[in-house]
Structure 1
């Protein structure tokens, strides 16, 4: 079966910024079918009405790799909770499960079924930075890790890409995804 990867951009971003195009190219070169969908309503529209659109637009199977950055990583929690299959891998970059700052976070659910999330992913990584300007820091990563297991990686790399933080490649992600 062909491997597929879906890369979810962060809040206010798009598929052409940061390391998203670079990672898509690296995965495609290894035989992945890669989708980097553009979701301008990510973290604007409430997750209750936004999630069904995402689930309907994507294909998930046992060979799927999911990567999410910031708001896209928060979206992955809801995706993993509500899919009906166990995907191969999920990598949450600058992810969070609770409000990381005083901004509204419509991408977050009020509660999560942590057991369901864990049962729907074989290999799980959390990559957070101690120096994240938005609060998507190692404490957010640790809170998810403690509920879900997997692997937590802590760096000092800001937000891993932002309007004022060029981050055109992400070698760590390339090494983590087989």
Structure 2
């Protein structure tokens, strides 16, 4: 049980919502184990612009040093940008990236307009756990490996998971992520 720890789920862009892919499964399973889960669809879900997402995370969800963020794709970007200036307990980065990967939607999101402060991102949280698929059609595995190097994350590479449920991929469970979150929360020394 993770008394006092909140798990915040943050979806990706391109029209994703918190009701899609594996988010309902993860919320249901974590709550069944007694964890406090916050799951809200962010404003501007098509473009996923930082100017809306970061203030929403900061001012509405209000994470703190007892908050774990599970971010998918642009949701992971939001968590990492937040950790540049404020404390978190930790972040789970699913299909995360730190570049626009050549996509105009990502380029215009605002997440890549400033250099990343990797030292602050690492300093402001106790752990970063990363999941990436070797066949992700949007984020090359080399980008994931570079993100791992920059963050010092614990990286789990998987096969056949694509972008972990985005677009036409049907992925409504994610037991590997559930297990990793539960294991990490069990080891949190408060």
The reply to whether TM is greater than 0.5 is yes
Task: Output aligned runs, 1:29-178, within 5 Å.
Answer: 29-42=32-45, 44=47, 46-48=49-51, 50-83=53-86, 85=87, 87-105=88-106, 106-109=109-112, 110-134=114-138, 136-156=139-159, 157-178=161-182
Contact 1:74 1:107 (8 Å CA) reproduced: no
Contact 2:134 2:141 (8 Å CA) reproduced: yes
Q: Flag the 1:107–1:68 CA change in 2: closer, same or farther, 3 A.
A: farther
Unmatched runs of 5 consecutive residues or more in structure 2? 183-190
Q: CA deviation at 1:45?
A: 5.8
Q: Flag the 1:161–1:49 CA change in 2: closer, same or farther, 3 A.
A: closer
**What is the TM-score with the length of structure 1 in the denominator?**
0.90
CA RMSD of aligned residues (A): 1.8
Contact 1:10 1:69 (8 Å CA) reproduced: yes
**Other-structure match for 1:27:** 30
Unmatched runs of 5 consecutive residues or more in structure 1? none
Contact 2:42 2:56 (8 Å CA) reproduced: no
**What is the TM-score with the length of structure 2 in the denominator?**
0.84
Q: Using the alignment, how far apart are the partners of 2:67 and 2:118 within structure 1?
A: 20
Q: CA deviation at 1:82?
A: 2.4
After the TM superposition, which segments of 4 or more aligned residues of structure 1 sit over 4 Å from their partners? none
Contact 1:18 1:161 (8 Å CA) reproduced: yes
Q: Using the alignment, how far apart are the partners of 2:156 and 2:18 within structure 1?
A: 24
The 3-state SS of whatever aligns with 1:82 is coil
Q: Alpha-carbon deviations, 1:50-87, whole Å to 9, x = none?
A: 4223211113233311101111112211111122x2x2
Kindly tell me the number of residue pairs found equivalent between the two proteins: 175
